[in-house]
Amino acid sequence: MYTQLEQRDMDSPPVNISTLRGMKDEGEPIACITAYDASFARLVDDAGIDVVLVGDSLGMVIQGHDTTVPVTVEDIVYHTRCVARGIRRAFLVADMPFMSYTMPEQALDNAVRLMQEGGAMMVKLEGAKGQVAVVEFLARHDIPVCAHLGLTPQSVHKIGGFRVQGREQSVADKMLADAKALQEAGADIVLLECVPNEVGQVITQSLDVPVIGIGAGPDVDGQILVLYDALGLTPGRTPRFVKNFMAEANSARAGLEAYVRAVKDHTYPAKEHCFS
Ligand code: KIV
């Protein structure tokens, strides 16, 4: 009983929502990464990662699809269960896949599966103001939620490609309003993907909850990368915000430690990883 309390004897106690809020308040950057199996989960946890996401990016990097659309709840439950076995300290978030949260009751059923069967501590869902009712319903049932804004890859066929979001002032204003509405509805974290630095900065300053960025510039509360991108395992062209941390490391553990260090000392993302 109370495993988490027992683990307080560890050098660093397990990360929870309060830890993440405290890090935002103290200005300590939150280092996040994706993982999909127990071995890498153990490695990223040992390297000092604060938050591990079982992302639906597994559709691309594990399953070989072109998008995240084919990923199922079953897939995420399976990989979350694997990752949970490798983690001791990091906070574990699992993605709600495409069409698994179209209605509040459906979202609750699937979120419960990710938490009970997978061991997730929070679920992440994509979408703007249209998801307020879902987030509210989940929050009312004490399900911690991360709301993903900006580029939302599950909508790739609707938005016509993976591209930077929020360059036009009207779109940036709407994104800020959506972020506030989602926080108000009960979202505990906001994740921003592929937005100009200024949009990342304004939204981060406007919210009380931590804002994690991927291609959202340096002025957010934390950074996240897809594990395979950070380790230079992704073939071909990678997005501008990606940095290969294996380029100057001689082991995966050293590469991941370099990523954590770079996030914590604000050397990643650098100018060349950002959008204006
Ligand atoms: O699925 C995923 O890996 C994600 C990250 C890109 C944030 O959502």
pTM confidence score:
0.96
At 193 the three-state DSSP class reads strand
* Separation between Cα atoms, residue 115 and residue 85, nearest integer Å: 13
Q: Measured between alpha carbons, how far is 126 from 98 in angstroms, rounded to an integer?
A: 9
CATH number of the structural domain spanning residue 269:
3.20.20.60
List all residues 6 or more positions away from 274 whose beta carbon is below 8 Å from its beta carbon. 196, 197, 215, 217, 218, 240, 241
Reported as half-sphere exposure (CB side, CA atoms, 13 A), residue 168 has a value of: 4
**Number of folded domains that form the chain:** 1
Q: Does residue 1 have a pLDDT over 80?
A: no
74 carries an active-site annotation: no
CA distance 164 to 193: 8
Which atom, in ligand 1's list, is nearest to the CA of 214? 7
Encode pLDDT of 84-116 as tens digits: 999 999 999 999 999 999 999 999 999 999 999
Q: What is the distance between the alpha carbons of residues 24 and 18, in angstroms, rounded to a whole number?
A: 10
CA of 77 to the centre of ligand 1 (A): 16
Among 44, 34, 84, 10, which Cα is nearest to 257's? 44
- The span from the CA of 150 to the CA of 107, in Å, is 21
Residues 198 and 173: beta-carbon distance below 8 Å = no
Is 9 a residue whose pLDDT tops 70? no
The alpha carbon of 1 and the centre of ligand 1 are apart by a number of angstroms equal to 32
* pLDDT (tens digit per residue) in 168-188: 999 999 999 999 999 999 999
Any ligand 1 atom below 6 A from CB of 154: no
CA-212 nearest atom, ligand 1: 7
Determine the 3-state secondary structure of 72 from DSSP. Answer: coil
DSSP H or E segment with residue 213: strand 211-214
> What are the tens digits of pLDDT across the range 50-86?
999 999 999 999 999 999 999 999 999 999 999 999 9
122 three-state secondary structure: strand
Domain that holds residue 108: 3-273
Note the pLDDT tens digit of each residue in 265-274. 999 999 999 9
For residue 3, name the pLDDT band (cuts at 50, 70, 90). low
What mean pLDDT value characterizes the chain? 95
Helices 104-116/73-86 angle, 10° precision: 30
Task: For residues 268 and 227, give the distance between their C-alpha atoms in angstroms, rounded to a whole number.
Answer: 15
What SS3 state is found at 172? helix
Q: Is the CB of 58 under 6 A from ligand 1?
A: no
